[in-house]
């Protein structure tokens, strides 16, 4: 078992080794075998994808009575929950009418999913539905539904491995790992991707998070999310963004502090579109210092104003950003950049962490230049 693994942008440390999982599966399989020894009929083992794929495989190898196999997914919640069960069973291949079904889950926490599924399967005509879960978080399980077979109980922590994922990654580890909330904060790295509108900050940040395992924080994206959700903050921001002006410093500063605090176990951050004023840069230094951190490097993509126009005009054809639509708004964004954001360059030059890169060239060429700079911080 690895001492520490990086899954996407977070560190995880060992929690349950495979050998202990095997013992727990042996024990739960023995109980199921005992209960179904003289069963009259053929139960269906129902694997709930994706999480329980490894557990189901291990469990089935140990079952010694005739059984069929089927798998399903559950749709995400639709509409309001007050109207009752709003999920659907997807991909069920065998008919379960009149059959006994043993549902195999990877983990049960609050119990909402398993309770919904239990009801849906009975509605679909199953004669009996047994629940078998690899893991249970008893601290948070709130339902009356009896869980017939529980291989292991665990505390309420965030885990990956043995089928369980973080953002679809990490399922393939055979052991289970737990989010490392004890990584010293001083180990966290903080990078900025800087540059005028359309310089390629978002494009390159997407490549950087994958290559370097960093968490992306784009204030523009966060503000657009607020706008899409129609929050008061979003409404205030929309008026300014639509004109190509900056939103007030305090608004974005609050967002950054919450991102820093809401993400334990993260290897590092890449801030995109922040800071955009010297006041924001000073604020960032303060909030990082409060958390034992600092700005490690400012990766600055420089392109001339004509290229800004070209790239944003091109993006307007594929994306639907209001601030990309009119030349006068794009011009305002460029003017705002020169007036308010460009001074941030001298601020970071003074601190010795400013790394300028020519932002012209293909996306891959620019990324190669960024990787050459990032080598100094690995
Ligand atoms: P924000 O969303 O940050 O916009 P921006 O800074 O104007 O930058 P863009 O997102 O337009 O460009 P980008 O550099 O990410 O380029 P991209 O990779 O998309 O902010 C929006 C607004 O929110 C601001 O105007 C402000 O009002 C507000 N706001 C946000 N943060 C704030 C803050 N901290 N304080 C106050 N207000 C704030 O690339 C652009 C296009 O070019 C794409 O189509 C891409 O495919 C293409 N492209 C990229 N690289 C290349 C290449 N090498 N060759 C050819 N094409 C390329
Ligand atoms: Mg962007």
Cα 335 to chain centroid distance, Å, stands at 35
- Testing ligand 1's pocket by substitution, the residue of 193, 194, 198 carrying the most ligand atoms inside 8 A of its CB is 198
Cα 279 to chain centroid distance, Å, stands at 30
Same domain, 347 and 208: yes
State the pairing for strand pair 159-160/149-153. Answer: unpaired
| Residue 265 placed within a domain | yes
| Residue 43 placed within a domain | yes
Determine the Cα–Cα distance for residues 208 and 5; give it in Å rounded to an integer: 18
Q: How far is the CA of 371 from the centre of ligand 1 (A)?
A: 20
Determine the Cα–Cα distance for residues 264 and 178; give it in Å rounded to an integer: 12
315 is catalytic: yes
269, 262 contact by CB (below 8 A)? no
Ligand 1 site, CB within 6 A: 195, 197-203, 219-220, 223, 240-241, 244-247, 252, 273-274, 276, 280, 311, 314-315, 323, 333, 361-363, 366
Q: What is the pLDDT of residues 184-214, one digit of tens each?
A: 777 889 999 999 999 999 999 999 999 999 9
- Going 284 to 286 to 290 to 296, the CA torsion angle's sign is positive
State the pairing for strand pair 189-194/159-160. Answer: unpaired
Query: Which two three-digit tokens encode residue 10?
Result: 């977070």
Determine the Cα–Cα distance for residues 258 and 226; give it in Å rounded to an integer: 14
Q: pTM of the prediction?
A: 0.81
Q: What is the pLDDT of residues 116-164, one digit of tens each?
A: 999 999 999 999 999 999 999 999 998 999 999 999 999 999 999 999 9
State the pairing for strand pair 44-48/189-194. Answer: unpaired
Q: How far is the CA of 193 from the centre of ligand 2 (A)?
A: 10
Same domain, 21 and 105: yes
Confidence of residue 81 (pLDDT cuts 50, 70, 90): very low
**CATH at 205:** 3.40.50.300
Report the nearest-CA residue for atom 1 of ligand 1: 220
Instruction: Give the position, in ligand 1's atom list, of the atom nearest the Cα of 275.
Output: 34
| Residue 292 placed within a domain | yes
State which residues form the domain around 143. Answer: 15-159
Determine the Cα–Cα distance for residues 144 and 20; give it in Å rounded to an integer: 28
């Amino acid at each position: 078992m690895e001492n520490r693994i990086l899954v996407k942008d977070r560190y995880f440390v060992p929690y349950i080794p495979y050998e202990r999982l095997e013992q727990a599966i042996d024990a739960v399989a023995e109980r199921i075998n005992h209960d179904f020894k003289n069963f009259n009929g053929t139960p269906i083992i129902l694997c709930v994808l994706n999480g329980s794929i490894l557990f189901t495989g291990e469990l089935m190898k140990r079952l010694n009575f005739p059984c069929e196999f089927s798998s399903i997914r559950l749709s995400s919640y639709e509409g309001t929950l007050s109207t009752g069960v709003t999920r659907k069973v997807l991909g069920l291949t065998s008919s379960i009418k009149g059959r006994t079904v043993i549902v195999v889950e990877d983990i049960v926490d609050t119990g909402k999913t398993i309770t919904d599924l239990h009801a849906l399967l009975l509605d679909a005509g199953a004669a009996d539905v047994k629940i078998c879960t690899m893991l249970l978080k008893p601290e948070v399980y709130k339902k009356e539904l009896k869980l017939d077979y529980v291989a292991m109980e665990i505390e309420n922590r965030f885990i990956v491995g043995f089928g369980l994922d973080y953002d679809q990654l990490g399922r393939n580890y055979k052991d289970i790992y737990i989010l490392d909330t004890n990584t010293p904060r001083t180990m966290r790295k903080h990078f900025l991707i800087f540059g005028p509108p359309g310089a390629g900050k978002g494009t390159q940040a997407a490549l950087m998070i994958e290559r370097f395992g960093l968490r992306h924080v784009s204030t523009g994206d966060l503000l657009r999310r607020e706008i899409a959700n129609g929050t008061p903050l979003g409404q205030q921001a929309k008026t300014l963004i639509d004109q190509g002006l900056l939103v007030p410093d305090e608004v974005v500063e609050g967002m950054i502090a919450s991102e820093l605090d809401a993400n334990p176990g993260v290897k590092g951050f890449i801030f995109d579109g922040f800071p955009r004023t010297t006041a924001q840069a000073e604020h960032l230094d303060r909030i990082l210092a409060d958390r034992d951190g600092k700005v490690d490097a400012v990766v600055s993509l420089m392109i001339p104003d004509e290229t800004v126009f070209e790239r944003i005009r091109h993006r307007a054809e594929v994306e639907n950003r209001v601030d990309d639509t009119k030349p006068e708004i794009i011009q305002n964004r460029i003017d705002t950049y020169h007036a308010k954001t460009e001074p941030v360059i001298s601020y970071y030059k003074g601190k010795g962490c400013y790394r300028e890169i020519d932002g012209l060239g293909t996306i891959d060429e620019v990324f190669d230049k960024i990787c050459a700079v990032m080598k100094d911080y690995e």
